[in-house]
A and B are shown apart, each in its own frame.
Chain A
Amino acid sequence: MRNKKVLRVIVAAFALTVGFGCFVGVCATDNVAVINGYPVITADPATASDWYDTEAMYNLYSPMVYPTPDGSVRAHLATSWQAVGGDLTHWRFALRQGVLFHSGHELTAEDVAFSMTRFITMGRGNSGPLGKVTATVIDRYTVDFALEKPSAIFPETLALFFPVEKAVVLANVKQPGNYGDLGDYGEDWLSTHDAGTGPYVMVTHIPGQRLDATRFLGYFDGWSNEGWGPDEVPIERLIFIMETDYTSLMTLLKSGGLDLEINGGWTVPQLTQIQSDPMLDLSYVWAQNVTVWMNSKVAPTDDEHFRKAILYAFDYVGVVGPWEPFGNGETGIILPNMAGYVPIEPQPRAQNLERARQELALSKYANNLRDITLVYHYCGGLDFEEEVGLQLQADMAQLGVRVEVAGPPWPQYSAECSSAESTPNMTIFLFAPQAFPTYDYFMYSMFSPGGLGWIFEAHWYFDDPQLIQMLDSTRAEPNAFSRLLTYELLQPIIADHALALYPYQKPTLFAHQAYIAGPLEEIAFVGPSENMHNWRINLVMKEAAGR
């Protein structure tokens, strides 16, 4: 009898403990969007280095020029620009008048010059591709940039340059720092505050965890309702959370605790679940190029025929199949949605074992296939990268070639690509379309000896003088149309060397509540897509949904 009493007490205590969750509910606030992105590490424009940081940049700051859907750039903070002197080392930019910082002060050439000097002096983030740049103020609304090397694409690179307010930064430098009298150049302060002109103002930021922002009513580009539905209004408050566990994110999305997810790490079953939920929507915003580099400096991938055999042996359909309803498909040197895309071999994009055997027979390793082990490395923890490796393993086994698939953790995996000798035969990477000059990113940065190196060029092939000369010419050609023609010519030349296997393009699907609308302007690059000025909220629908 006493036993029963004790047990009753235990059960009642447990029920009470769990049950008092009933009265707790999420406080509904109308015009707020909770958005999940990958952890924003730095909100300082001079140190922001990854596409995740770029998402924050496009909301808090404004770039000098703005990417367009066709891959070029248009006026933004800068209204016009021109090369001065004809050698492409000296550029002059006219600034838009009346642009306000979040402090209410007007943006001037002084701020832009200071920001460029700060960007280059600190030498972090996205400043790498710019080299050395010297900024000079010409008048209140004109600034000059002198480059150490000629560059026809310099204006396009400024899609990742976000001016800061000089006075605010100088008022918040911390001493001592790495920059003499300028202390830390305001780096510490800018990690949790903003000094920008963007559509949203930072309220709080806990790096890697959460960023809160409110709408900036003085945003120079305005908040026009043109193109939006009658009940679709600007989002007043943004809460960026930064989580990576998609099981928890699904729970949050379904319960209405998450409005928009912009990282796109969903699995196929999760995407199917989202598609079937009438309260939720999926938006295809941009795709990423899945690229498997083949190291041209180590055996057996040092043989061009061997590399081509891999391209023909791979079963593209087998890997893409489950993803196809969500927009995955063929890709090449650049993404298929970019103007000037040239399809590359094999065509159609399917396994051709006969052709693979022919190529293998032409390779110098044709007679000792049994002794060969092809090493394929993917970033540990990324299942879709492992799937590509396992598919390759199965496909190459049909040719009698052994493939070793391994997924070391990111630090080891990326460090291996610091030299040709330490890079495995094959390494898989996912390249997102950066707002950084996109054609240049997918070609010059990935195939020129002057490119970004490291994981961007883990094929280590720089032996074709004609290819190098053509790549160099793209940076010297001021005419965008002529440059595009060269980019078209370059694709088959690069593809002919078989430096990479391109299994498919992987779309980044933004899952969101049905009452979130956007993006109005489809700019398929990282940054502009996540600029919440390009999204709206339908409060009538939200209320009807009871969220």
Chain B
Amino acid sequence: MAKYIGLRLVQSIFVLFGLSLLIFSIARVVPGDPARAALGFLASQDQVQQMRVEMHLDKPFPVQYYYWIRNVMHGDLGKSSYTRRPVTTDLAQYIPATLELILFATLISLVFGQIMGILAGYFRNSWFDGLSRLVSYLGIATPSFVIAILLMFLFSQVFRLAPSVGRLPIMMQPPPTVTGFMVLDSLLAGQVKTALVALNHLLLPAFSLAVIHIAQEGRITRSSIVENLNKDYITMHRVHGIRTSRLVFKYLLRPSIIPTITVMGLDFAFLMSNAFLVELVYMWPGFSRYAVTTMLNKDLNAMVAVVVVMGVTFALVNLAVDIIISFLDPTIRIQRRGG
């Protein structure tokens, strides 16, 4: 297994190198003047020219890439021309906010998606199966930002049950930053009430993001459950009179959840880059929103860093999914060993 993980990591490095080269080229080809964007409206042409030199934009492309990769090797992703701060500082600020949101969204989709999928599959063709099908179709067809606006309208404006925006109330002092995860940092600081408030702020945006995945994963789990229910070993367990709950959770769910986990892994990485509109609606100071803002402002260093971070996320999540699946499905481990 260690050899396999090592091999996958080496492969990932090559992929990331190629990705950085690709996005570095694209960032420079798309129209726009990054020097002007960095200096602002009233800058003179001389100042813009001087900034181009400072940013090495007057040098040939390979030289620009050399400067960039040399700095990256030293842990320096450059300075953002949009926020005027080191890109690493920006990433450290924005990534935890989005990670916290999508982890919570993933948890919600896992719980609700699995429950819905198992029940719909086990009681297939029942009224619940029909209802879950309808909910799934609606969930898949409705964009996350529409759900976000609807939930905000209902729970924040009409019923006033949940806060509308941000990670904490505007007036509330955030806990000292340790991990960047608001709930965790509050607990680490011993501020239980702040943790609950932060959790409450997570609910609506996380649920808005989770809906589509609940629908998707629910359907996939349902199909797997239905397929596995007809297998001989399940019939055998039934004949031996094993309790339904034991049958479902021990013998049926484990093989049925494998396709869902594969999809969940991809969904997690997908959420990282696609949470933008939900982050915008809920004023969530996250990475996805930062990514779009920097791209709209042609912030070269931030653009490249953002894409590389997404690449790293995809690579790591896929690796994690492979490891989890190999634990869940012993046949995969045996195949890898050449058995």
Contacts and interface: CB of A to CB of B under 8 A. Distances in A.
Given A17-B203, A21-B163, A454-B36, A26 B169 contact: yes
B6 interface: no
B82 interface: yes
Interface string A372-406: 00000000000000000000000000000000000
Interface stretch (A81-89, A249-257, A537-545): A249-257
Given A21-B155, A21-B200, A49 B165 contact: no
B84 A27 contact: no
A223 B47 CA distance: 39
B280 A257 contact: no
A174 B37 CA distance: 24
Contacts of A125: 39-40, 42-43
A248 B281 CA distance: 6
A46 B84 CA distance: 12
A239 B93 CA distance: 19
Contact of B283 (A50, A245, A452): A245
A28 to B, nearest CB: 8
A243 B170 CA distance: 13
Given A248-B283, A415-B31, A241 B170 contact: yes
Contacts of A24: 163, 169, 196-197, 200
Contacts of B153: 251
Interface string A1-41: 00100110010000001111110101111001010000001
Given A22-B161, A27-B172, A252-B165, A411 B85 contact: no
A411 B32 contact: yes
A165 interface: no
Contacts of A124: 39-40, 43, 47
B297 interface: yes
Contacts of A418: 33, 36
A110 interface: no
B161 A412 contact: no
* Max chain A Cβ within 10 angstroms of own Cβ: one of B42, B281, B293, B297: B42
Interface string A448-491: 00001111100000000000000000000000000000000000
Nearest to B170: A34
B19 interface: no
B197 A453 contact: no
Contacts of A243: 165, 283
B64 interface: no
B324 to A, nearest CB: 25
B314 to A, nearest CB: 25
Contact of A207 (B83, B119, B164): B83
A524 B131 CA distance: 58
A240 B230 CA distance: 61
A156 interface: no
Interface in A26-76: 26-29, 32, 34, 41-42, 44, 47, 49-50, 53
Interface string B2-32: 0000000000000000000000000000111
B128 A3 contact: yes
Interface in B149-179: 149, 152-153, 155-157, 160-165, 169-172
A416 interface: yes
A126 B152 contact: no
Interface in B56-84: 82-84
Contacts of A254: 157
Contact of B42 (A129, A412, A415): A129
9 contacts: A18-B155, A49-B41, A50-B41, A123-B46, A243-B283, A257-B165, A414-B36, A414-B37, A415-B36
